Amino acid sequence: MSTSSSCQSSTLKIGIIGFGPFAQFLAKTMIKQGHTLRATSRSDHSQLCQDLGISYFRNAITFLEADNDVILICTSILSLPEVLKSMPLHGLKRQTLFADVLSVKEYPRDLLLKVLPEESDILCTHPMFGPESAKDGWKDLAFVYDKGCRMLEMSCEEHDKMAARSQFLTHTIGRVLSEMEIKSTPISTKGFESLVQLKEVTVKDSFDLFSGLFLCNRFAKEELKNLEISFEKVKLKLLDMMNVRQDINDSNL
Amino acid sequence: MSTSSSCQSSTLKIGIIGFGPFAQFLAKTMIKQGHTLRATSRSDHSQLCQDLGISYFRNAITFLEADNDVILICTSILSLPEVLKSMPLHGLKRQTLFADVLSVKEYPRDLLLKVLPEESDILCTHPMFGPESAKDGWKDLAFVYDKGCRMLEMSCEEHDKMAARSQFLTHTIGRVLSEMEIKSTPISTKGFESLVQLKEVTVKDSFDLFSGLFLCNRFAKEELKNLEISFEKVKLKLLDMMNVRQDINDSNL
């Protein structure tokens, strides 16, 4: 999508692979920006596409033949290999920029390098927001490319390292809080309310996304371990205090 | 402090025991409300009190003789038994309302019932905010008593049960994130930023507070266990996915 910054006044023909909630969210903004959209996906989204003014292709071959300037990959992380395998990507008639918006970066880059014709351009992007967090607009939210939000360039490795410590960690804590079934209480502090909010936003995303953040980011395992070790440290500090302050259990006033 | 709601236009003589950051924060608002303040504490805060227009007593006996309508207990949870032990509370010349603002409730209630003269009134309160979260005012923040914010009445047991699942849990997660040394990244999502924020607010509070929330609330141990079990569950789900999706590790495209 970085190409759009070099042709500010022109519009692009953008083909979208995978038309789940995140693709729909992006599509609405891209339509407003005047681009022409077409989409294909494994589930049938023809009615929704018709409503939005997007050409929907059930057939991958005709989708690829539709003269796309950019093909935007919006599948789930876990389904990416299968989806790519099902498309005759070597039959592409023109040079195309492939951009993905997956939440891990080394994994799709490596897959795309493997399956795309050599002349294709690849842009690995990660919008750091979703339908929930950007419902009031993209402004100032980080995107690892597009105009209209804060743009950042980094290596896929750098991205994955940083995302494991931030996005994956956040999802893990959201899932743990969901297992605990935390709920607002009449005496919630602001801090606790932010955790309830975090839990609610996290579980709106699929478990497949969460699994993908873990399985397809080689830095995630280390951060999960880190979280576990840090929890153990805090627990030990509390248990130590329990020994130091035996008096409290004895209430020896 | 509930008495203030029955004498809206009158002002009170409020004696504060323990003059740390939280007491200072409350004092500033109570001064604005027109109350007369006096304080005593183990550390010397005479200069600060003079600046704020508060009478400072180094001596507990003269403090207790200063004709306080209300005595507000703002010590740390852990120092409460020692502080109470050091004061000749049975020498009180008048009926006094004792209100505490500690973050656990059964523990101070039981201690106060033990050491106060029988004719004293006891009000166990917990303002669900602090200097950080209420820097823009108390309005709509929960207090388990005072006017000007949302008032709630509940048993000490109910409070402690609820607070273990909310406030103690929040502090634990903040401490774990602090052990992990999480920091803002250029690609932070809103969710992750809320965790960074939580970490920063949490570590501004003393470790003594955190210990007190754990040691002096009989429901906290169970919630710590709950958190651990929930983390294990999430971890197992991820490891299960790793077995199910061996293909990802093998990259068998």
Of the candidate ranges B23-32, B151-160, B211-220, B224-233, the one whose mean pLDDT is the lowest: B151-160
Long-range contacts formed by A232-240: CB under 8 A, 24+ apart: A233/B179, A234/B172, A234/B175, A234/B176, A234/B179, A235/B224, A235/B228, A237/B175, A237/B207, A238/B210, A238/B211, A238/B214, A238/B215, A238/B224
Q: How many CB pairs under 8 A join A and B?
A: 209
Tell me the pLDDT of chain A averaged across its residues: 86
Which value does ipTM take for this structure? 0.75
Q: Are residues B122 and B102 in contact, defined by beta-carbon separation less than 8 angstroms?
A: no
- Residue B11: per-residue pLDDT: 84
Partner residue facing A144 (CB), from B126, B187, B253: B187
pLDDT interval class at A246 (50, 70, 90): confident
Mean pLDDT computed over A61-68:
94
Partner residue facing B187 (CB), from A166, A207, A242: A166
CB–CB contact A230 B170 (8 Å): no
Q: A-contacting residues of B 106-135, CB under 8 Å?
A: 107, 110-111, 114-115, 126, 128-129, 133
B217: left (phi over 0), alpha (psi -120 to 50) or beta: beta
Residues on chain B touching A246 (C-beta within 8 angstroms) = none
pLDDT interval class at A140 (50, 70, 90): low
3-state SS assignment for residue A15: strand
What are the tens digits of pLDDT across the range A152-207?
777 888 889 999 999 999 999 999 999 999 999 988 888 999 999 999 999 988 89
Mean pLDDT computed over A65-83:
93
- Residue B138: per-residue pLDDT: 64
**Is the pLDDT assigned to residue B175 strictly greater than 50?**
yes
Residue B73 at interface with chain A, using a CB cutoff of 8 Å = no
- Residue B87: per-residue pLDDT: 94
Residue A112 identity (one-letter amino acid): L
- Residue B2: per-residue pLDDT: 33
Name the residue of chain A whose CA is nearest to B168's CA: A192
Of A3, A48, A15, A53, residue with least CA distance to A31: A53
Of B248, B26, B21, residue with least CA distance to B149: B26
Of B126, B119, B112, residue with least CA distance to B155: B126
Tell me the pLDDT of chain B averaged across its residues: 86
Residues on chain B touching A201 (C-beta within 8 angstroms) = 191
- Residue A253: per-residue pLDDT: 41
**Is the pLDDT assigned to residue A247 strictly greater than 70?**
yes
CB–CB contact B165 A182 (8 Å): yes
Mean pLDDT computed over A87-111:
89
Residues on chain B touching A199 (C-beta within 8 angstroms) = none
Distance separating the N- and C-terminal Cα atoms of chain A: 69
Of B139, B135, B138, B146, residue with least CA distance to B101: B146
- Residue A249: per-residue pLDDT: 61
> B133 CA to chain A: closest CA distance, Å?
7
Whole-model pTM over 0.80 = no
Of the candidate ranges A242-251, B87-96, B135-144, the one whose mean pLDDT is the lowest: B135-144
**Is the pLDDT assigned to residue A4 strictly greater than 50?**
no
- Signed CA dihedral, A240, A243, A249, A251: sign only: negative
DSSP symbols for B146-187: -TTSEE----HHHHHHHHIIIIIHHHHHHHHHHHTT----TT
- Residue A182: per-residue pLDDT: 96
Q: A-contacting residues of B 142-201, CB under 8 Å?
A: 142, 144, 152, 154, 159, 162-163, 165-167, 169-177, 179-180, 182, 185-192, 194-195, 197-198, 201
Of the candidate ranges A116-125, B1-10, B161-170, the one whose mean pLDDT is the lowest: B1-10
Mean pLDDT computed over B163-171:
95
- Radius of gyration in angstroms for the set of CA atoms belonging to chain B, rounded to a whole number: 22
- Residue A9: per-residue pLDDT: 45
Mean pLDDT computed over A224-252:
86
- Higher model confidence: residue A3 or residue B17? B17
A14 contact partners, CB below 8 Å, separation of at least 6: A30, A35, A36, A37, A38, A68, A69, A70, A71, A72
> B75 CA to chain A: closest CA distance, Å?
15
